[in-house]
Chain A
């Protein structure tokens, strides 16, 4: 029991921090950099990716006994493509405005290497529950990076946070966003593609700095860490 719980904890630690798809594996960078000009966009794509990742991990794990090595890659692609198409239709139906903004990046989730990477490295070898949990945690890790980068860029470039949240919540007339300063005084570079690269670089640097500080301090919060560190570094 204890071991199982530790295992789930390890998986969560891997997905959210130690082996985060966006910060450590550096997978799925194309959508990550392209759509993160606001929190809402990041959240929308993050949720869609998370849903697909959990669904694909779950399905791959369910069918893992029938998957023979020579057909596993086409089978993964089939599973992922079907799930993405379904998610795309659902978003078009229920979050139409957001769907219009995210546009091509929804179908492009198919090509997000983080998803096929988890199918190959984890879900095809693990029982259903850990596989589903891994998909959720990896997806959440990716989502958090998208939201953080989206938030940074939205604040710097537009001086607002969640300004376009009505695209997800439905247009109720209320504008729940926060405005820090006038948009005309925004830092334009943050909204442009270089801003995405620089922002991601800074987030990765911050993560590495925190890791390095933790490593230097041998006592204290270390208690749970050896288990978390034991995990494999994941696919290249």
Chain B
């Protein structure tokens, strides 16, 4: 060890000390996050499940099925309903092993302010069990009447099917269809009606596949 380190050595030592110090900070920070995660992750997972179940139960009452709805899922490829990659999660409700209904996690890509995430429930006879908006991104005050907390517009879908109204009438009134639009907002309801209709069409064409065992098309 030199009693008087050269400028180069001093610089190296100083950077090393800095790096070490930063490393210690990083460890403490990571420790803090790890402890918080430990304390909260169960509650967070629980919250997420409760949130999903709360939404699913808005569409299907607990008494209508007896399987574990949120775990009996199937991932299907349905570009007309899907998000960016065209994959859609389907929850399947059964009673005593018999199919009762499916709930699509559909996405309406053409909302006014981007994609609208919907849950669309369809009974095995092709009737709508219910529609709910999960993640709206519509302009407050304009398109947000699709949310149940703002208006009961989504309830109009209940009991509808491709027969009633006929498939050609699955559009908002302005487009010659059977569904109301709201004052000053046509694009949002139009997107939702289209997504619900697509869900019904998909259900009509793939009913048996949807209830098949396995959790994906590729099984």
Contacts and interface: CB of A to CB of B under 8 A. Distances in A.
Interface of A: 37, 63, 66-68, 70-71, 74-75, 78-79, 81-83, 85-86, 89-90, 92-94, 96, 100, 157-158, 183-184, 186, 188, 191-192
Nearest to A83: B32
A106 to B, nearest CB: 13
B28 to A, nearest CB: 8
Nearest to B35: A86
A8 to B, nearest CB: 28
> Which 7 residue pairs across A and B have the least CB separation, nearest first?
A82-B29, A93-B40, A86-B36, A96-B47, A93-B43, A191-B140, A71-B18
Contact of A92 (B29, B32, B40, B183): B40
B202 interface: no
Contacts of B50: 96
Given A89-B44, A92-B40, A184-B183, 15 more contacts: A63-B25, A67-B21, A71-B22, A82-B30, A82-B32, A85-B33, A86-B32, A92-B44, A93-B44, A93-B47, A96-B50, A157-B141, A158-B140, A188-B141, A192-B141
B18 A68 contact: yes
A81 B40 CA distance: 18
Contacts of B22: 71, 74-75, 78
Nearest to B30: A82
| Secondary structure of the B contact surface, majority rule | helix
A89 B37 contact: yes
Interface of B: 14, 17-18, 21-22, 25-26, 28-30, 32-33, 36-37, 39-41, 43-44, 47-48, 50-51, 139-142, 150, 183
A96 B139 contact: no
Contacts of A90: 36, 40
30 contacts: A63-B25, A68-B14, A68-B17, A71-B18, A71-B21, A78-B25, A78-B26, A79-B29, A81-B29, A82-B28, A82-B29, A83-B32, A85-B36, A90-B40, A92-B44, A93-B39, A93-B47, A94-B43, A96-B47, A96-B48, A96-B50, A157-B140, A158-B141, A183-B141, A184-B183, A186-B141, A191-B139, A191-B141, A192-B139, A192-B141
B70 to A, nearest CB: 16
A209 B9 CA distance: 58
Contacts of B28: 82
Nearest to B184: A188
A82 B139 contact: no
Contacts of B29: 78-79, 81-82
Contact of B36 (A74, A89, A100, A183): A89
A52 B141 CA distance: 32
A68 B25 CA distance: 13
